[in-house]
Structure 1
């Protein structure tokens, strides 16, 4: 009799406390990962309204180049062996609502929609009217992405590198929690026409690297949805977990009592 009771109690405990193993826990587990990763191609960022660009103009003639750098008067260092000054701080330029930056001497220069290389070439071409062999360097100052949902450290994240893919972005947020659905990651991106688009990313597929959404753009938003188990848990009685713990403790105690009476 005691053996039957113990077996019955154990069966109840297993039924109540066991759960189905979580699937799709591994990134890029579907398809041939090595072949797909080799196809990844980075096309560079497009400058957007609200971007803050750090721009530095260099040339052999330090005197002639001064008017083209807002911060030239602040710090000027010694020249290197090529004669190009390396210690002038880059100046900040905000891309306004119309897509222009207000550049010294040159006036309004359209930048929206260009890559940094294209804007660099455009500025150098304009500056050749005033300087000999001008060199322009451009860096995006405010590259931010927001990662929300089932990640360990949600929030707006700043990246030092502008070339960042979706996995690196998740790394900035400490990666997904165990409850994150790797097949249902939402990316919210502002298009060139100003409207937002929402796409679903399945990070368990290796061919994600071929997607135009594999590399992040400034101001992108990633939202990691909770898996079905987490959704059920969130919508159920908040005391459910505590109830299971109590039932488990009672069953364990009952099993122990029956065993001691044998």
Structure 2
């Protein structure tokens, strides 16, 4: 009789504990109908170099030995594209680059100080190629400029908050949230905050992920070092309290059952 009662009590307790879990509705985006015509064009602004950025500058030409004079560590740059990386970046590459100072300058090997702040990669590349051609230093020079620390940070109610390196140097808000594992069950999707630092100024934007007009926002396409914050809704606090109550209830039940079993087997 005692054994039969034991086998009845334990499954009942386990069933109670497992059925106390919270179920959540799937995440919804872009609710309702909207006009796709004004939103069909992709608005992407090429990122510009900012103070604190780490950039790679690799020079190629028809003469490998001559190119090596202008590359960090004497890397051989030739026109066929061999040996493209030069510095140790935050993403774990063995690539060394130039850290942009507070005034937006870097000192290029064999060239000297160069203002890169506020310029795009293409502008920097063209400026250097013009320098080599104008001074007859390299034959058919090619300059490859890349960001080595292009990253965004996602914080708050997502599955995997943290900083993410973007090797393609191009990412939008939805892609960033996808990288972070999507919204959590208690995320406020209507007030996603983006913090951006540009030209020494900090700006803020709040986007509503239910509203298709986010595609027209200049903050939808992210820039390097952008921070995305997803706050929690009011249900999270209530859910935490409810979960704590469930844990207390389960713990009390376990203690009660244990006491009963002890009395039965005495």
TM-score w.r.t. the length of structure 1 is 0.74
Higher mean displacement: 130-139 or 35-44: 35-44
Q: Which residue of 2 aligns with 1:219?
A: 225
Q: Which residue of 2 aligns with 1:109?
A: 114
Q: How many residues align?
A: 220
Which residues in structure 2 correspond to 1:104-143 (within 5 Å)?
Answer: 104-128=109-133, 129=135, 130-143=137-150
Q: Work out the CA distance in 2 between the residues paired with 1:68 and 1:22.
A: 57
Please report how far the alpha carbon of residue 40 of structure 1 lies from its aligned counterpart in structure 2 after TM superposition. Answer: 2.0
SS of equivalent to 2:57: strand
Specify which structure has the bigger relative contact order, considering alpha-carbon pairs within 8 angstroms and separated by 6 or more residues: 1
Q: Cα distance 1:149–1:37, how it changes in 2: closer, same or farther (>3 A)?
A: same
Q: Work out the CA distance in 2 between the residues paired with 1:134 and 1:63.
A: 13
TM-score w.r.t. the length of structure 2 is 0.73
Which residues in structure 2 correspond to 1:116-195 (within 5 Å)?
Answer: 116-128=121-133, 129=135, 130-192=137-199, 194-195=200-201
Aligned-residue RMSD, C-alpha = 2.8
Q: Cα distance 1:158–1:198, how it changes in 2: closer, same or farther (>3 A)?
A: same
**Deviations 1:111-165 (CA, angstroms, capped at 9, x unpaired):** 1111111111111111212122211111101111111110001111112221100
Q: Cα distance 1:197–1:245, how it changes in 2: closer, same or farther (>3 A)?
A: farther
Q: Which residue of 2 aligns with 1:86?
A: 82
**Deviations 1:150-199 (CA, angstroms, capped at 9, x unpaired):** 0001111112221100011111111111211111111111131x232221
SS of equivalent to 2:155: strand
Gaps of 5+ in 2: 1-19, 87-95, 254-266
Q: Which residue of 2 aligns with 1:70?
A: 72
Q: Work out the CA distance in 2 between the residues paired with 1:239 and 1:59.
A: 67
